[in-house]
Amino acid sequence: MHRLDDIARTQQGYDPQALRMADATTFIDRLVAPVQGTEVLPLRQCLGRVLAEDLVSGMAVPAHDNSAMDGFALDGAVLAGQGTLTLRIAGTALAGKAWAGSLQPGECLRVMTGALLPAGVDTVVPHEMTTVEGDQVQLPAGRLRAGDNRRLRGEDLQLGGIALSKGELLTPAALGLAASFGLQSLTVVRRLKVAYLSTGDEVMSPGEPLREGAVFDSNRDTIASLLERLGCDVIELGVVRDEPVALEAAFRRAAEQADVIISSGGVSVGEADFTKSMMAKLGDVAFWRIGSTVLFGLPGNPVAVMVTFLSLVRPALLKMMGAHPKPQPLLQARSVEPLRKKAGRTEYQRGIVTASPDGQLQVRTTGNQGSGVLSSMVQANGLIVLGHEQGNLAAGELVSVMMFDGVI
């Protein structure tokens, strides 16, 4: 694990007060490392967890050539003729069962989806393409080629092949794949332990009488939910007052329990900065780390908390979890309204993406983009990402959008 000042020396024009988004992402990626420790869990408990080792298939899937649909199986060579073909139905093969007989010239086999295909049979004619009269079936000319509608042995997974790679974030499809070759459990990375606390004398917990000038702590439930969605073990430390002794005790307690500490409040320019001064006392203030525990100090405004978490903290936590998630592409959509933007910083504006009458993606903002307007995050289904160099945009211009689906 590197110190931030060591990395900073490798960055041209480093300015901690004016980092480009790409530079901040690079810094954080180099500063965090996967946690150690694994556990073996039943398949049903592995959803959302991170696979700790390559999963090698102990069998071919499917194990045999089989039918991809209900119909009639035959040797595809007989389809070479030009006219309608009539064959005798020699028998029936059911799903997952081998047929005991053998086909003679001029014969075919009635098969159900998943039925094993006997030797010499490589093509299935769908039932709806045929005409059946007694034990005879008529097949159309020129509709199929040899090999159609057949599932080949091992076409999904080859024996000895890597079915799932280490670092895979286990989805319903991944668990189904593991089950398809008989596994009942998987070795996964242990859960990341994340402690969360809010700071500020003006912040009160829901349920307390709200005094004049104070606000309820919405950030705690927001962050806890985002962490739980990621599969982290959440350690809630509540609201900590702007008192050096209380802050020091809270951070020490969090560092003893957690891999990561997330705080909100006390990090903006011009604030009392009790959080910053306490970190300087306790650990590496350049990295905001106490021993091996990483600290992410987030702003106090609710929207800024969510945007910062999604854009910077979430990718870092995934890396610490040992995950290698598939990159989430930014969608391109046309803005239906002019967008105000000052060049020289990356901005994330809350947006609502819809389809235009011609089927193209379009996006509009939720309106007020104030960092305290949390209701706008409820209305939005994505963030309009306006790059560092971009300035004002006219209606109709293409913009990038980070969709919420799958991340919150």
Q: Give per-residue pLDDT as tens, 120-132.
A: 999 999 999 999 9
Strand order from edge to edge, sheet including 85-93: 123-126, 71-74, 107-111, 85-93, 136-139, 131-133
Listed in order, the ranges of the chain carrying CATH 2.170.190.11 are 66-151
Region 39-60+160-189: CATH code: 3.90.105.10
According to DSSP, residue 239 is labeled: E
Residue 330 structure tokens:
């930014």
Q: What is the C-alpha to C-alpha distance for residues 337 and 397, in angstroms, rounded to an integer?
A: 9
Placement of tokens 């971009």 in the chain: 390
| Cα distances (angstroms) measured from residue 77 to each of 127, 151, 172 | 19, 18, 40
Q: What is the DSSP letter of 396?
A: T
DSSP codes, 335-379: ESS-B---TTS-EEEEEEEEE-TTS-EEEEE-S---TT-THHHHH
Give the span between the Cα atoms of 186 and 354, in whole angstroms.
39
Please give the pLDDT value at position 286: 39
66-151: what CATH class? mainly beta
Q: How many CB atoms lie within 10 A of CB 281?
A: 12
* Dihedral sign for Cα atoms in the order 269, 273, 277, 283: negative
- What's the distance, CA 22 to chain centroid? 20
- Residue that has been written with the tokens 């080792």 in this structure: 53
Q: For 363-376, b where at least 16 C-beta lie within 10 A, e where not — what string? A: bbbbeebeeebbeb
The CATH number corresponding to 4-37+191-320 among 3.40.980.10, 3.30.420.40, 3.40.50.1000, 2.40.110.10 equals 3.40.980.10
Contacts of 13 (CB under 8 A, 6+ apart): none
Instruction: For the chain, list residues with pLDDT below 50.
Output: 4, 7-9, 11, 14, 269-271, 284-287
Whether the Cβ atoms of residue 322 and residue 54 lie closer than 8 Å to each other = no
**CA angle in degrees (0–180, nearest 5) for 125-127-132:** 105
Domain with CATH 3.90.105.10 in the chain: 39-60+160-189
- Rounded to whole angstroms, the Cα distance separating 27 from 357 reads 43
* Contact predicate 287/281, CB 8 Å: no
Rounded CA-CA distance 222/105 in Å is: 69
Give the model's pLDDT for residue 8: 45
Structure tokens at 24: 């901040």
Query: What would the pLDDT profile of 230-254 be if each residue is shown by its tens digit?
Result: 999 999 988 888 778 888 888 889 9
Q: Spell out the residues 6+ positions from residue 217 whose beta carbon is closer than 8 angstroms to its own.
A: 198, 203, 204, 205, 206, 239
Q: Are 299 and 264 in contact (CB under 8 A)?
A: yes
Domain 331-403 class in CATH: mainly beta
* Residue carrying structure tokens 């910083």: 345
Terminal-residue alpha carbon distance, the chain: 28
Burial code of 2-16, b = ≥16 C-beta within 10 A, e = fewer?
Answer: eebeebeeeeeeeee
50-75 burial by CB neighbour count: b if 16+ within 10 A, else e?
bbbeebebeebbbebbbbebbbbbbe
Q: Model's pTM, two decimal places?
A: 0.80
Amino acid, single-letter form, for residue 157: L
Using DSSP's 3-state secondary structure scheme, residue 362 falls into: strand
Q: Is the dihedral of CA 203, 206, 211, 214 positive or negative?
A: positive
- pLDDT at residue 280, rounded to an integer: 58
Integer Cα distance of 383 and 389 in angstroms: 17
Backbone dihedral angles phi then psi of residue 303, each to the nearest 5 degrees: -70, -40
Backbone angles phi, psi at 272, to 5 degrees: -65, -20
Q: What angle do CA 200, 204, 206 make, to 5 degrees?
A: 150
Q: Start-end ranges of CATH 2.40.340.10 in the chain? A: 331-403
